[in-house]
Amino acid sequence: MKGNDSRTFGRAGFDVTLLGYGGAPIGNIFRPIPETDAQAQIAEAWNMGVRSFDTAPMYGHGLSEHRVGHALLTKDREDYVLSTKVGRTLTPAARGSFDTGIWVDTPPFRADFDYSYDAVLRQVEDSLQRMCQDRFDILYVHDVDRYTHGDAQPARFAEALAGAFPALIRLRDEGVVRAIGIGVNEADVCVDALERVDLDCVLLAGRYTLLEQDPVTDLLPLAAERDVAIVLGGVFNSGVLATGAVPGAKFNYQPASEEVLGRVHDIEKFCARHEVPLAAASIQFAAAHPAVRELLLGARNCDQLRQNATWLEHPIPAELWQDLRAAGLILEEAPTPT
């Protein structure tokens, strides 16, 4: 596998690169990234052959969208695929007057959930202006899951069904966007959306990995049947599948449990036997399912970008996958690289 390998984006029909640039880190998640470093990252991704770029208004309260748009401003619009998300309205507000959560040094924009029809149309127009674009390739309804909304999730999902999704269908019909989908942290929410809405794609974060393979029994077969493109984020489960079972390793953005650490340790033993980095096995396993069209991998610097590409290309003997499957660490239904 190579990061600049081209895959058709399901029924939408256009091509994306297997390795997509994930714009969350340059929204200043947890700690700031200087502007020059953010621009250098995107330039490096381009030089590596990456032609798929993803961002969202959430990422740094508009900062990531601004940075990605600025970096692509002089590129030929036909040469890249651009995705962003809807579901949050950014409103000018004085710094310090609103909670930025995990994002630091953000622009002075408050972010409020709104999945209504008119709000989503306005959000898309705002994103087009922030990014100096006339259209998008992919738009996702963002975070209508329990991870984000808890007990309020059913009401938020219903709001999106009545407003956000119809708004995106209109924009698809008008040619403002080529593909529409949902971007969440839970596979069952994706299945629910596919059963109710005419979607082209699904962005699933962290739920189809070497540690979590349940979507291979429901979401992924459904997507393959309907030629819906699957985009995967969080293939390292927010850290533990890159760092290994070390003290302080993160799983789903929290300290990994003993159960998770034990399973990762078991996977690591087989990787060590075959001299394969755990992170390389994690990336390539995620890319192996035929419904998966793209991997969104974030980075904090150019070295991490290059490392992701190196892991994607690392040779892995078939015996590793055979050993992991025999040990019950890979489900029988889950395809592995060939």
With a cut of 90, say whether residue 198 has pLDDT above it. yes
The radius of gyration of the chain's CA atoms, rounded to the nearest angstrom, is 19
240-263 exposure pattern, b = at least 16 Cβ within 10 A, e = fewer:
bbbbbbeeebbbbeeebeeebbeb
pLDDT tens sequence across 205-236: 999 999 999 999 999 999 999 999 999 999 99
54 given a catalytic annotation? yes
115 given a catalytic annotation? no
Contact between 52 and 5 under an 8 Å Cβ cutoff? The reply is: no
Paired strand residues for 254: 251
Could you say which of 2, 15, 59, 192 is catalytic? Answer: 59
With a cut of 90, say whether residue 332 has pLDDT above it. yes
Q: Give the separation between CA 279 and CA 311, rounded to whole angstroms.
A: 7
pLDDT tens sequence across 268-303: 999 999 999 999 999 999 999 999 999 999 899 999
Q: What is the dihedral of CA 168, 170, 173, 178, to 10 degrees?
A: -10
The mean pLDDT value of the chain amounts to 97
Cα distances (angstroms) measured from residue 194 to each of 161, 184, 191, 213: 11, 13, 5, 19
Could you say which of 37, 80, 85, 200 is catalytic? Answer: 85
147 given a catalytic annotation? no
Question: What are the tokens at 135?
Answer: 């259209």
Q: Give the separation between CA 28 and CA 24, rounded to whole angstroms.
A: 8
Give, as one character, the DSSP assignment of residue 58. T
Q: Give the separation between CA 64 and CA 57, rounded to whole angstroms.
A: 7
With a cut of 90, say whether residue 253 has pLDDT above it. no
> Amino acid letter at 128?
L
Cα distances (angstroms) measured from residue 331 to each of 12, 209, 210, 239, 310: 30, 11, 10, 22, 26
Share of the chain above pLDDT 90, in %: 98
pLDDT tens sequence across 81-94: 999 999 999 999 99
Cα distances (angstroms) measured from residue 251 to each of 91, 208, 335: 32, 13, 23
Q: Give the separation between CA 210 and CA 241, rounded to whole angstroms.
A: 8
Could you say which of 54, 126, 143, 323 is catalytic? Answer: 54
pLDDT tens sequence across 157-191: 999 999 999 999 999 999 999 999 999 999 999 99
